[in-house]
């Protein structure tokens, strides 16, 4: 069991899904938690869990896409805990905007930027003084997506912002390495969450096809991402920075290859013949 006693961890979007699982994982590991959550009901629910679990915590209801609320969040973290050891930038959303790029409006792009990238810049910048105050050993973890590493039709803007998180992660890792703060990202594939109930979205008659594109044969669980975050924030990853942890069941490694109905591997859906029978 990893021990985060005496460490202060901030998780944005920590009221539901992957964020909630990360909060609970760090709480069970002994950390002090700061949870930023935009939804009042979810904020109340995670506050109740933290109190019941006996976790020292600060739950801040607010919208981290608004710069004044990010500034307020930093002030509250400093007032309550004095510093910060781990920042988890968890918030992100496709906003269900799926359409050809030439159909995107400026508003579509601005909204996707705000919820997928801009807040990572703002929150990270606001928390850096608190991370630096704690000295070497700090960790910044951002949640990205497998879509930042492969093409996804009709979702180009979302994919572009997810890809940009990788460039930010690598560059910031170089800047902060000399002071002992590590910077990494987690890139999930489709994960079962209340916002995206993958199994319910795929009919039972099609679920047998899941292993055809995810080699480990299932969708991700929020606990998979929480475990990755614990690892990256822990001394086990003391020499890991500027990198991406792909938590995707092997989907990216498959790189477009999948098993066709005959059980052969192919990357050409219309290919005739026997396929590549590896």
Mean pLDDT in residue range 142-157? 92
Task: Return the structure tokens found at 44.
Answer: 């109340």
Digit-coded pLDDT (tens) for 81-130: 999 999 999 999 999 999 999 999 999 999 999 999 999 999 999 999 99
User: Residue 212 has what pLDDT?
Assistant: 78
Helix-strand-coil split of the chain, %, nearest 5: 45, 15, 35
If pLDDT is split at 50, 70 and 90, which confidence band does 213 have?
confident
104 is annotated as an active-site residue? no
If one counts every other C-beta atom within 10 angstroms of the C-beta of residue 205, the result is: 7
- Is residue 212 situated within a structural domain? yes
Pairing verdict, β 258-259 and 265-266: antiparallel
If pLDDT is split at 50, 70 and 90, which confidence band does 52 have?
very high
**Three-state secondary structure along 54-102?**
CCCEEEEECCCCCHHHHHHHHHHHHHHHCCCCEEEECCCCCCCCCCCHH
Mean pLDDT in residue range 212-240? 95
Instruction: Give this prediction's pTM.
Output: 0.91
- Is residue 67 situated within a structural domain? yes
| CATH number of the domain within which 221 lies | 3.40.50.720
- Is residue 66 situated within a structural domain? yes
Structural domain that includes position 143: 8-266
Question: Does residue 236 surpass a pLDDT of 70?
Answer: yes
Digit-coded pLDDT (tens) for 255-278: 766 666 777 666 545 444 443 333
Instruction: For residue 202, count CB atoms less than 10 angstroms from its CB and return exposed for 0-12, middle for 13-18, buried for 19 or more.
Output: middle
- Is residue 64 situated within a structural domain? yes
Query: Dihedrals φ, ψ of 35, to 5°?
Result: -120, 125
Say which of 104, 158, 231, 258 is annotated catalytic: 158
Instruction: For residue 160, count CB atoms less than 10 angstroms from its CB and return exposed for 0-12, middle for 13-18, buried for 19 or more.
Output: middle
- Is residue 103 situated within a structural domain? yes
Mean pLDDT in residue range 168-187? 99
- Is residue 2 situated within a structural domain? no
Pairing verdict, β 32-37 and 57-61: parallel
User: Residue 190 has what pLDDT?
Assistant: 86
How many structural domains does the chain have?
Answer: 1
User: Residue 265 has what pLDDT?
Assistant: 64
**Sequential DSSP letters for 18-64:** HHHHHHHHHHHTT-EEEEEES-HHHHHHHHHHHHHHT--EEEEE--T
- Is residue 217 situated within a structural domain? yes
- Is residue 83 situated within a structural domain? yes
């Amino acid at each position: 069991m990893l021990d985060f006693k005496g460490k202060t961890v901030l998780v944005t979007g920590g009221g539901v899904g992957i964020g909630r699982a990360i909060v609970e994982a760090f709480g069970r590991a002994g950390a002090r938690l700061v949870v930023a959550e935009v939804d009042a009901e979810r904020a109340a629910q995670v506050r109740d869990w933290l109190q019941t679990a006996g976790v020292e915590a600060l739950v801040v209801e607010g919208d981290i896409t608004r710069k004044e609320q990010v500034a307020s969040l930093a002030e509250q973290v400093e007032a309550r805990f004095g510093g910060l050891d781990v920042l988890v930038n968890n918030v992100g959303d496709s906003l269900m905007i799926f359409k050809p790029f030439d159909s995107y409006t400026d508003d579509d792009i601005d909204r996707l930027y705000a919820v997928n990238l801009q807040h990572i810049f703002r929150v990270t910048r606001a928390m850096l003084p608190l991370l630096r105050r704690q000295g070497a050993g700090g960790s910044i973890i951002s949640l990205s997506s497998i879509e930042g590493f492969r093409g996804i039709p009709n979702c180009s803007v979302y994919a572009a912002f997810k890809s940009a998180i990788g460039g930010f992660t690598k560059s910031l890792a170089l800047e902060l390495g000399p002071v002992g703060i590590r910077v990494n990202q987690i890139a999930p594939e489709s994960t079962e969450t209340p916002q995206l109930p993958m199994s319910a979205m795929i009919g039972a008659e099609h679920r047998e096809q899941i292993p055809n594109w995810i080699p480990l044969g299932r969708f991700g669980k929020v606990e998979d991402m929480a475990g990755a975050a614990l690892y990256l924030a822990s001394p086990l990853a003391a020499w890991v920075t500027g990198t991406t942890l792909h938590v995707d069941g092997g989907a990216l490694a498959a790189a477009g290859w999948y098993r066709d109905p005959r059980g052969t591997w192919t990357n050409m859906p219309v290919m005739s013949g026997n396929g590549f029978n590896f």
